[in-house]
Amino acid sequence: MDFEKKKKQRIDNRCSYIHPNKSNKQCGLQVRKGQIYCFAHINKVESSSQKEIDISKQRSNGQLIKRVVCPVDPTHTVWENRLIKHLKICNAVKEKLEIKHKEETCEWFSVNYNLQDVDATCELLELPINENDWREFTNEVTTKYDKMFSHELTLEDGKYIKGLETRLEEVSNQKHILQQSSLIQKLIDNDLICNDAVIIEFGCGRAEFSRYHNKAMTEIFKDCNKYRPQYLLVDRAVPRLKFDKKMVADMEELKIENSEIRRLKVDIKDLKLAESLKAFKSHNFIGISKHLCGVATDLTLRCLLNTVEDTPELNFKGCVIAMCCRHCCKYEWLLEDSKDYLKKFGINRLNFVYFRKMFAWATNGIRSGVPSDVVGGHHSLLSHQQREIVGLKMRRILDESRKYAMEKRGFDVKIVRYIDRSISLEDNCIIIKKKI
């Protein structure tokens, strides 16, 4: 079967449900032969067509069985005769049991600990999008942006290579190691390295960044007998192919003693960082992250502020965070000073839906052979090239609001482009330092 035929088959097998709050996009899940909707959307569809109604039913031993909404997690459905068995294996049930267990046994875990001043359950308003209002909002914000910022962010892509030579030789696609080396150089340039500090990688994933950060630090402190690597790896998931064991092997090979690596499976909103740092001997800590998603970035800033304000005996030296996926941001979870900054551009909770959708314009690609200066029927009446410029401006506004909020709390903050856009379209990082 050729590629085009396979592609057509995939499209034909897609669920017919249309998401009303996602620009009328069609559901991407595949359905069984003869069905119209996937099991997640069967019960959401109201239709007079008997054929569409009957697809949520099947016969078992002569009885008609229907699908029902899971009582624990209403986002999915299950066959009625399998409900009792499903409740024993439902991921939502397992997650609730895991949360309950952590609350009872882990001092560093507390649900919504870093969201105590907001309604953690409040969802972003998904109001119907009016294209005329959107265009008016875009023009208003970009006009204010042009008056406030006379130049774009300058590129500072210095790279630290020592200790990373082997990795650079191993991989043909070097975009990740180049980003990591640039962020390490930012730590060095801003005096955010220490031979006795806990390095916290927020949203660490496999912890590849921590591994190569440690390789660089062992090179920098190779003549220092007191270098003691300490890493706290934070992520809400447990990915496969983690680098934790490789970090241990690296340090055994270099005969580095007294190293310590801890991994916590926790959402940053639930992390009591001060409690987790009690397991380490050092009172100094530094934050790092490579491509931390929008909402996680705001949660990390909240987490760091809570730690600094509630536990003054801990010494927060600073952090370097490469930001990404700003379209995931939640208005309610922004710092209050960040919201105040956005008000200068007329951005509030209601029109934030327009604001955050334009972040993706800074990173959207374009199909091969399509000129970037052609509008192509887009609702904004802007070409791809123009939308990219607008997206970059909107992204800068949000990042500047974070900078403003942390400066109001007494920190030295700057935003820089740490890598060329040819390597990564998510090329901005925020550098936060404790004032001396």
pLDDT digit string (tens) for 196-219? 999 999 999 999 999 999 999 999
Q: Identify the pLDDT of residue 48.
A: 37
Using one digit for the tens of pLDDT, what is the confidence trace for 399-413?
999 999 999 999 999
Domain extents in the chain: 11-53, 63-105, 134-365+373-434
Q: For the chain of 436 residues, list the mean pLDDT of each consecutive stretch of 10.
A: 46 77 76 75 53 49 76 85 89 90 94 86 62 89 93 90 87 90 96 94 96 93 83 93 92 86 96 96 95 95 95 95 94 95 94 91 75 70 89 96 97 96 94 90
Q: Which of these, 129, 140, 143, 135, lies nearest to 380 by C-alpha position?
A: 135
pLDDT for residue 54: 46
Task: Report the alpha-carbon distance of residue 202 to residue 267 in Å, rounded.
Answer: 10
CATH fourth-level superfamily of 134-365+373-434: Vaccinia Virus protein VP39 (3.40.50.150)
Strand partners, 428: 417
Per-residue pLDDT at 368:
63
Pairing of strands 63-69, 77-79: antiparallel
Angle between helices 384-408 and 294-310 (to 10 degrees): 10
- Measure the CA–CA gap between 269 and 302, rounded to whole angstroms: 8
User: Which two tokens mark 91?
Assistant: 């991921």
Contacts of 379 (CB under 8 A, 6+ apart): 131, 134
The per-residue pLDDT for 436 is 74
Count Cβ atoms below 10 Å from residue 109 Cβ, excluding itself. Answer: 21
Is-contact 391 357, C-beta < 8 A? no
Backbone phi, psi, residue 275, to 5°? -70, -40
Rounded-to-integer distance, Cα 80 and Cα 83, Å:
5
Q: pTM of the entire structure?
A: 0.85
Q: How distant, in Å, are the alpha carbons of 168, 200, 243, 255 from that of 249?
A: 19, 20, 10, 10
